[in-house]
């Protein structure tokens, strides 16, 4: 069965109108590594919302902070500043057992 572009767009639009629940939210996430007097900025204020059922790709050159961002979202590291929420819970407030 073929679906015309117009029908596909209409179906897609109706799906998008459904309530979009944010499952991951990052607000002004910064990560600074300090060595002596040197500061290396791995993230400079990343902000994002990821909605339930959404597929996401993050692309960028080597050293742009992709892995650092995923480490912050996954609770493997803590931001120097900013917040990461999973289902509206600030993960910085969770202990190691709650993060696992």
Given a contact cutoff of 8 angstroms between Cβ atoms, the answer to whether 25 and 48 are in contact is: yes
Tens-binned pLDDT, residue by residue, of the chain (100 aa): 566 677 666 666 656 656 789 999 999 999 999 999 999 999 999 999 999 999 999 999 999 999 999 999 999 999 999 999 999 999 999 998 998 8
pLDDT of residue 82: 98
Q: What is the rounded CA–CA span in Å between residue 31 and residue 58?
A: 17
Strands (E), the chain: 22-35, 38-51, 81-86, 89-90
- What tokens were used for 48? 């994002």
pLDDT of residue 19: 75
pLDDT of residue 13: 65
Whether 2 is covered by a domain: the verdict is no
Which residue segment(s) compose the domain that 70 sits in? 27-99
Whether 82 is covered by a domain: the verdict is yes
DSSP H or E run through 84: strand 81-86
Whether 16 is covered by a domain: the verdict is no
Total domain count, the chain:
1
Whether 8 is covered by a domain: the verdict is no
pLDDT of residue 99: 86
Whether 66 is covered by a domain: the verdict is yes
pLDDT of residue 100: 83
Q: Give residue 81's Cα distance to chain centre.
A: 15
């Amino acid at each position: 069965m073929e679906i015309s572009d117009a029908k596909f767009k209409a179906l897609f639009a109706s799906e998008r109108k459904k309530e979009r629940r944010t499952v991951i939210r990052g607000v002004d996430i910064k990560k600074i590594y300090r060595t002596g007097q040197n500061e290396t900025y791995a993230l400079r204020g990343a902000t994002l919302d990821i909605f339930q059922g959404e597929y996401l790709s993050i692309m960028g050159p080597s050293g742009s902070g992709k892995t650092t961002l995923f480490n912050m979202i996954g609770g493997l590291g803590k931001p120097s500043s900013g917040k990461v929420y999973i289902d509206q819970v600030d993960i910085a407030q969770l202990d190691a057992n709650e993060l696992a």
